[in-house]
Amino acid sequence: MEKYITDERTGLKYELVGDYYLIAGDDEPEEERPIGIWGQRHLRYLKEHRRVRYATLLTGGELNSYLADIDRQAEELFLRLVKQMADAEGITETLKAGDQMEWVGRMNSCRDRATEIVYHQVIYT
């Protein structure tokens, strides 16, 4: 599909945004920022459960920056939680050197718990 089309009858120029053609304005196009896994999961949540919010962000040209911000916040929270849990439970590099399987199991437990917290505090809100 073409990025821009012009209606011959009305003379209006339309821009392809997602799956829809919207009237192209004179303002600057939205800055393309990379969206990671957390942003993609929140996008799926918006499409399935918060359709009005999704449509508002999409038509307002703010969807990409909103998802990039959500992704950044979620990633920062996830990394902070994993570090705090590992420190609180005594998961150290010494343990990693001494018993790698024990270290992997305990770190996976921390990551799983941190993932659930991020889902409930950032992604599914």
On whether both 20 and 41 belong to a single domain, the answer is no
Quote the mean pLDDT of the chain: 91
Name 48's Cβ contacts closer than 8 Å, sequence gap at least 6. none
Residue 100 pLDDT exceeds 70: yes
On whether both 10 and 37 belong to a single domain, the answer is no
On whether both 104 and 75 belong to a single domain, the answer is yes
Q: Which pairs count as long-range contacts for 110-113, CB under 8 Å and 24+ apart, including other chains?
A: 110/81, 110/82, 110/85, 110/86, 111/82, 113/81, 113/85
- For 73, the domain range is 33-123
On whether both 67 and 6 belong to a single domain, the answer is no
On whether both 50 and 94 belong to a single domain, the answer is yes
On whether both 92 and 110 belong to a single domain, the answer is yes
Tokens of 4: 């821009």
Least confident of 20-24, 54-58, 89-93, 114-118: 20-24
On whether both 15 and 43 belong to a single domain, the answer is no
Residue 28 pLDDT exceeds 70: no
On whether both 68 and 111 belong to a single domain, the answer is yes
**Domain count of the fold of the chain:** 2
On whether both 22 and 74 belong to a single domain, the answer is no
* Residues 55-74 pLDDT 10s: 999 988 899 999 999 999 99
Tokens of 98: 């001494």
